[in-house]
A and B are shown apart, each in its own frame.
Chain A
Amino acid sequence: MALSFELRRRGALAVCFALVAATLSAAAPQARAATPSPIKIGAVLSYSGLSAPLGQPQVNALKLAEKDINAHGGVDGHPVQFDIVDDGAKADVAAQLAQQQLGSGAVAVMCGTRTDTSIAVSRVTGAANALQFYMTPTAGVWQTRGGVAKTVFQATPRDALEAQALLNFAKGRLHAKSIAILHDQNLYGTGGATVATEEAKPMGITIVANESYPGDATDFTPQIVKIRDAKPDAVILWGATQTPALAVRAARTLGLKVPILGSSGVLSPAIIKVAGDAATDVYAASNIGFGDATAQQKALAEQYEAAYHQPLVGFAAQAWDAAHLIVDALRDTHGKADGLALAAALEHGKPIAGVQGTFRFSPTDHNGLNMADVHIATARGNAWVAP
């Protein structure tokens, strides 16, 4: 028995050696042949689980961005390679994956699709002095209580800009004087509700109700009844994926007929599919234009539709911009992986034209966009269109 165990152990060791040797011999000629070596960038996205409708377009766009970047010379002639992994919409998984990617030579990390995954990873990138770009509107990931997170940047209009645009639209176009807020209980939703409350005050808009729901809610009766009783002129709905669609349906079913203005997370094809004919008088903030799309947005839309046979969505534009912004910084530092050096290049560099707008980063602004970069769309027929 002892002998057979020893033999097996030796056998296992031999197999290990053989594998290592095989890997080395296979890798060596490749490394020699493929000069210059690729620059690896980690991408931890949520393309399964609840956030799949957001993460999947980001993966699509990232693959297009990789081709585009490498067609334009990569970084100093080195091809760029995005290592895309799925965190399943789980913050702890995202942090582990980011740690692994940085450990295996990634020079920067794109993460993530969700606010909670982005925050979890920001602790990893902060500790490792690595550049991170994330793609949710929550500014709180870089605008922390302890000041600006030095190496964390945001590649989509921040929530305060969305709130300003929605409130402006509510006041100017819909003549609303009072607003009720209905939001997801997660970090994204509560952050948005807080920002909207702050932005409403100087605009002279009163918040008459503030209700929340858990991300997997299916019934909204208590919240809608309370909002209906508060008699607001409009409702701001801050949430993402399908759940807001059920909220819209519940509102219309329970006789809450006022306009509903959603955050950009509400803007997905899913809401029209789920809410159906209830999606009337529903608006949403968007990082890409509907009817007022910029030339860059039209160009990306064309490319995206040709590759994937589906219309461009805002989530894809976020990933496209994040990828190009990281590469822009890497070109400035000639591929140096130092997070602080990359951050400095972004903060003091020239304005960078992206698909969503022109990014003007500074040491106090790691978002760099402004309210003009937020568009408003409305659900009509079976699509999102210009209001």
Chain B
Amino acid sequence: MTDQKINRREFLKLAGLGTAAAVIAAPKVGEVVGPAIRSVLRGSAHPGDSGGGNHRWLMVIDLARCDGCGACTDACSAMHMVPTGQEWIKVYKMQHVTLESSYFFPRPCMHCDNPPCVNVCPVDATYKRSDGLVLVDQDRCIGCRMCMAACPYSARYFNWAEPPHTDQELDQDYSVEMNMPHRKGVVEKCLFCPSLTKQGLLPACVSGCPMGTIFFGDENEDAVTNSLGETHRLSELLVEGAAERHLEELGTEPRVWYLPPRTMSAETQSEVNPAPHQG
């Protein structure tokens, strides 16, 4: 009996020491082993990802200017050789109720700051970058389409079959910033054209819009520009234009702002027409 007791005590002591050692050592071991395992398993993180740099890209779309011509979609499709049937920036004609006036609503990927698609991706194929972009790694995507179910903006498309290719497209080296050549069985979407913004150019849809509807810029610089060369201070444009984000109530925190089809900011209106009860 005593032997057993001592044994048990010793065992508990050892077990306690072992546990303590493990708790202390685990993070250290993890620091060494974790990246090692990761580098073995994952190889390079995402092919062609040059990192976000010190930017916070965003878009402001002035709905009052959009005439629904679809030039943005065409410019995008040309630039990315988007497979037929997909519209990475899609122009919806919106009318919620019959008495409401209808308007055109260009919808790129919203590059949400709380992206539902990234949250549900099981393999880290779609991810959020420091410059605000949500990108898709078609080398890793398994095609489960959970992100498509999760996206409230229907911004994601799937290559249901092998997309039709051109030689020019096939010549490209695949990168997450270009998503070409296009692949079968994976998800694609609007990228905010990191390959162009790297060169100081506007995304294809922005420069392709004849009306100057779409403004693009860097939140850190507090400035946005459109195809007509108009540059605004972002913070002023958002306030004066009474900007809002689509489906704000879902908490996705999109990086695309919309100026309503009419300018009806509470601030500007109160200057013209002071509210009666205040006077």
A, B assembled together: no
User: Which A positions have Cβ atoms within 8 angstroms of B?
Assistant: none
Spell out B's residues near A (CB within 8 Å): none
